[in-house]
Amino acid sequence: MRPFAALGLAATLLASPALAQNAGQIARVQAGASCPRCNLFQADLSNRELKGLNLAGARLRQADLSLSIMNRTSFAGGDLRDVNAFGGVFSSANFSGANLTNSTWVGTYLQGASFRRATLVGANFSGVEMDRASGLTQGQLNTACGDEATRLPGRLTIPRCQ
């Protein structure tokens, strides 16, 4: 084996993510079990009805939650960066303290959801119904985007997505 090839193989093995997805934990959640602080990185939870779960503190980065129904689910303190939640239903879900950076919520139903201290930088809320959401501030929404169909509480506004 050439020295550079051996070095590349060693680097690949050493660089294997210590935080890679946990297939067992993902399977449990897909079956409807709560899994707080679990590693659900890139989990496919799309097209599922998973109501009332406790996923607080879970790592859901790059997960697919599109077209899922996750009413009353707690994502509090979770890592939801780069999540795709297109067309999902998350009524009364708890996103308090969660990181939703660069996530996509296009056409999602978020009535009654809590966003207290959530990070919304780069999140796309186009066409979202969230006029009964709580914990939202103008400062949070100024870092996200939406469109003319986005429904927000009170007099809050959101920049238009480019």
Structural domain spans, the chain: 20-162
pLDDT of 100 higher than 70: yes
Q: How far is CA 28 from the centre of its chain?
A: 18
The average pLDDT across 32-55 equals 98
20-162 sits in which CATH class? mainly beta
| Residue range 111-153, pLDDT digits in tens | 999 999 999 999 999 999 999 999 999 999 999 999 999 999 9
Kindly report the pTM of this predicted structure: 0.88
Q: If 0-12 CB within 10 Å is exposed, 13-18 middle and 19+ buried, where does residue 46 land?
A: middle
The average pLDDT across 65-78 equals 98
Phi, psi of 24 (to 5 degrees): -65, -45
| Mean pLDDT, rounded, of the chain | 91
